[in-house]
Amino acid sequence: MKSMTKQFVQKNIELSLEFDNFLAKHPELYDSIPNGAVVVITLESDKKFSEASIQIVKHYPKKQPIVEARKENSEWVLHPLTLSPA
């Protein structure tokens, strides 16, 4: 946790809240998120942020489904995420 910058933490919080609000307006997207899944926020325009975000869940138990929520312009695109070994 020590390596997380203030900017990364703040950006993640803002994007996560934005995603929750977007999801509420687009309930069809719930079909792409299984119950209990972990949603990882990434950003098309910021590779460094996205890599740091995915790095966090690499240590999560393998049994739970992980879904990447990728912000592309003003839209969110969801797809299952398969992680390579850390």
* Residue numbers at the binding site for another protein (CB under 8 A): 1-2, 4, 6, 8-9, 12-13, 16-17, 19-21, 23-24, 27, 30, 33, 35-41, 53, 56-57, 59-61, 67
The single-letter code of the amino acid at 55 is Q
Minimum CB–partner distance for residue 70 and another protein (Å)? 13
Nearer to another protein, 53 or 71 (CB): 53
Residues 6 or more apart whose CB falls under 8 angstroms from that of 50 comprise 42, 43, 70
Minimum CB–partner distance for residue 17 and another protein (Å)? 6
CA 7/CA 10 separation, integer angstroms: 5
CA 65/CA 84 separation, integer angstroms: 14
Nearer to another protein, 27 or 73 (CB): 27
Minimum CB–partner distance for residue 79 and another protein (Å)? 15
Q: Are 53 and 81 in contact (CB under 8 A)?
A: no
